[in-house]
Structure 1
Amino acid sequence: MKEDFLHYVWQHQYFDKTDLRTEAGELITVLRTGHRNADAGPDFLDARLQIGEVEWNGAVEIHLRASDWLRHQHQTDKKYDQVILHVVYSADQEIRRTNGSVIPALVLAPRLDLALVNSYQNLVEQASTSLLPCASMLPRVPMITRTMMVERALLERVEQKADGLAALHEQLGQDWEATAYHALAAGFGFKKNTEPLARLAKALPLAVVRRHRHDERQLEALVFGQAGFLSDTESSLADPYVQELGREYEFLRHKYQLAPAAMAPHEWNFLRLRPANFPTVRLAQLVAVLHARPVLFSALLTASDIRTLEQFFLAPVPTYWRQHYQPGRPGKVAALGRSSVHLLIANVVVPLRVAYARYVGQPELIESAVALLEHLPAEHNHITDVYQGVGFGHRSAADSQGLLALSRGYCQPRHCLRCAIGSRILQQNLVVG
């Protein structure tokens, strides 16, 4: 059993409250359970209880064993002096505040419904390889509960990404064009190389990019040079075009006082990627967009439909990179695919629009941004396939993004108690006093 199970039980009062008493025998009446505290300090704040003849307002702390209070060093922390009830699974020790007064304890072990405990253990004790711990119990969960949970997970995922962009916007001096540039660069990393591409955007300021957007070769030299792909390797030394880009890069680097080759080839991930997904190919595609689209943010913000957004990303890459996967290594390269474009819309455009909508206080823009996902085809991968296989709806990118969020935010970390589906399963056959 984990402590979060007892948090769930206390929050929803899923235990037998008949003749509820402290370990010292005082009668307890729960007037208000309090609200969960996400910061440092006791687990539930602003609780209201009647213990014996006295009404108390304060905090509730929850542990599996009473002695966990000491293991967590609460006995020296004055924030915990506001605790009016110590809720525990077992009381193995009397607990006192820093002034020596005893904290009343409520033991839940004999008051828990066995069916609830068994359902909880069936969920969280599934093998770690089980992607969906409640799969066998899903037939008992109404479809509307599943649908609402996927929608909730989707909104949480979009909001989380928007939070990151809002923080980036602040770091960049509230410049939305720069925010779009950094978000776009990271988006072209397509997960495997998101972090290196985000660092590249920091190493190549938008102000420098703007000055050379009109010249594709100079832009190419700046991007590949700062990425570390124009270094003197055996393959690049034999390629006149790469050498030419290297000379151009050195001139521009000195002109703008850029750090030499801000990154190195070994910092990029090539392992287990198809050549069409190599970071060098993605960099060429990013160059194409930066060269062809003189304005980023307003174009991404005002595009009225998916087709317009698709056209934004489908810019022709520099000629050299249509025939080379890496510098000095020839091979025919496919253009940016529609599925990749749709991922960029889902992971860059939608969160960017949501972040801006919150910034200007226009909630209707949030709705229209998220609605874009309804017009994108569903993404199919090993995670979404599992959910689709057990009856979850999967018709659009909104479903895909929601299912991925459900998996990563709830199912994989076994946060079943925070999930409406898991909560519904636990509530079935529950009997409490």
Structure 2
Amino acid sequence: MKSGTRYENLRSTLVREEPLVTTPRDWDELELQAHWFAGDFGREFVTTTGQPVRIVQFGVWNREAGPDFAEAAVSFDNGEPVRGAIEIDLDARDWERHGHATNPDYESVVLHIFTRPSGAEFFTRTAEHRLVPQVLLDLSRLSDDVVPSPPEAKLGRCSGPLRELPDEKAYEVLFGAAQFRLRRKAAALARLAELHGPDEALFQALAATLGYKSNKLPFTLLAQRLPLRLLRKSEADTLLFGASGFLPHDLASLESSTRTYLRGLWENWWPRRAEFERLKIDPPLWRMSGQRPANHPQRRLAALAQMVRLWPKIRALVDRAEATAIHEFFDQLKDEYWDYHYTVTSKTSPRRMALVGESRVIEMLANVFLPMAIAQDENRWADFKKLRAPLTNQRVEVAALRLFGEGARKKEYLKSVALQQGLLQIYEDFCLRDASDCARCQFPRQLAQW
């Protein structure tokens, strides 16, 4: 150890300590974020009002719409950590310029970082007029080297015990978490059925799954405000598109096929417009950015309308809950207009698109069909374990990275729907409830007792 200290003293006279991530002379906001996430600015800061700040958890680098870093933890004046998001801008005024002040997605921000003051005193406020603490970064601490790509999340303390577990034990832990998650989903669906009846519960659950993460709320609201029993007696697509606010008023600039399609909806919507006006979804609730064009909420709404039209077949699928039959049904689900359009303002696509893609069918199986089946017969768990995951999402990737790091295990676990569900459950139960950067997390100790 003395030799190490001597060498440290020796090199300190010769070499300036280099940060993990370094900056070129001309850099942009993404490079600044990379420096921040790599810890090149440190953890300890002082706000523009003189308040001490410590970054307890740097959180998750958000690759989607919204604040730059989600699920972070920040301590002010040495107090208990506050969970929330962190936004980084080059200029303090970018908060207003980029529309964050009126965007509800930024309500979770607990710290606003910037590198250039605005000149006049600038206050960062959210859509609900909450004042967000600000920190001005000192860029002189950085060098001019090329910035590597840091990981989305940092390895958790539980990765050590998990790495020591044999494969069969690691599978046992993840499958146990997945089974727990399934039971919770089944119980929630049962409560919904008790309140609204089995058909309405199924309709609301499928609508929420079509909305996925970004638009789960507006899809759920539509299913609640326009119940299945009403839609089956009416023109479902008319009411859904009218109440969603997706019917444009100006049709002149649109393609002829789109004008024809929308005129049909308007003719049916106009006589009932006053009746359903109060049930319309507020436009700010819809999230259009950060999604693949084929997954636009307008297309998913069209899929929901077709599912209403074919409801007896949907009901039969629930009773069977066979993955092959469910895939075949959605493969054959068609809509004359939406098979060739991304949105009501897009050009006609030269090739047909699936109204409901494979990944969305898997989500329905995992979140609706199989939980309902397993609630009736626990032996259906074997069917759930067979489901392969065609895609992942950022939350699953982050969970796998924190628990297992980069490696063969992580890659293998992401191929299975059940293992993905187990990863998510552990991440939500432990990582998202811990604001101590793993210091007080109980999961590593519990793993040792597994």
In structure 2, distance between residues paired with 1:375 and 1:202: 33
CA 403–182 in structure 1, closer or farther in 2 if over 3 Å, else same: same
Query: How far 1:376 sits from its partner (Å)?
Result: 1.5
Equivalence for 1:376: 387
Q: What is the CA distance between 1:418 and its match in structure 2?
A: 5.1
Shift in CA distance, 367/318, structure 1 to aligned 2, threshold 3 Å? same
Q: Does 1:153 align with 2:177?
A: yes
CA contact (8 A) 1:185 1:198 kept: yes
Following superposition, the deviation at residue 310 of structure 1 comes to: 1.0
Which residue number in structure 2 is paired with residue 268 of structure 1?
Answer: 286
- CA distance in structure 2 between the aligned counterparts of 1:373 and 1:131, rounded to whole angstroms: 29
Structure 2 residue 154 is matched with structure 1 residue 130: yes
Cα contact 2:193–2:199 (8 A) shared by 1: no
Check if 1:302 corresponds to 2:313: no
Could you tell me how far apart the structure 1 residues matched to 2:273 and 2:379 are? 43
The answer on whether the counterparts of 2:207 and 2:220 sit within 8 Å (CA) in structure 1 is: yes
User: RMSD of the alignment, in Å?
Assistant: 3.1
- The letter for the 2-side match of 1:182 is Q
Give the structure-2-normalised TM-score.
0.55
The 5-angstrom pairing of residues 202-351 of structure 1 reads 202-212=224-234, 218-233=235-250, 239-252=259-272, 257-260=275-278, 262-303=280-321, 305-332=322-349, 334-335=353-354, 336-351=356-371
1:91-125 CA-partner distances (Å, limit 9, x unpaired): xxxxxxxxxxxxxxxxxxxxxxxxxxxxxxxxxxx
Superposition TM-score, scaled by structure 1 size: 0.57
Code of the residue aligned with 2:417 in structure 1: it is A
2-side partners of 1:243 and 1:236: how far apart? 13
Unpaired runs of 5+ residues, structure 2, are 1-150
Which structure's CA Rg is the greater one?
Answer: 1
Deviations 1:341-371 (A, max 9, x none): 112111121223345x2xxxxxxx1331x33
Which stretches of structure 1, 4 residues or longer, exceed 6 Å deviation after superposition?
234-238
Identify which range, 224-233 or 381-390, moves more after superposition.
381-390
Does the CA-based 8 Å contact 2:244-2:281 persist in structure 1?
A: yes
Aligned counterpart, 2:27:
none
Q: CA deviation at 1:170?
A: 2.5
Where 2:342 maps in the other structure, the secondary structure is strand
Deviation at 1:293, TM superposition (A): 3.6
Distance 2:168 2:333 in 1: 44
SS at match of 1:311: helix
Stretches of structure 1 that go unaligned for 5 or more consecutive residues are 1-126, 213-217, 358-364, 429-433
Change (3 A) 1:235 1:371: farther
Matched residues in 1 for 2:292 and 2:348: separation?
Answer: 13
Q: Which amino acid aligns with 1:273?
A: Q
Supply the AA of the counterpart residue of 2:286: W
Q: Separation in 1 of the partners of 2:309 and 2:420?
A: 31
Give per-residue Cα distances to partners, 1:194-219, cap 9 Å, x unaligned.
1110000011121112224xxxxx32
Q: Deviation per CA, 1:43-87, whole angstroms, max 9, x where unpaired?
A: xxxxxxxxxxxxxxxxxxxxxxxxxxxxxxxxxxxxxxxxxxxxx
Paired with 1:236 and 1:189, the residues of 2 have a C-alpha distance of 28
Aligned length: 281
The code of the aligned residue for 2:302 comes to A
Cα 1:230–1:350, aligned 2, differ >3 Å: closer, same or farther?
Answer: same
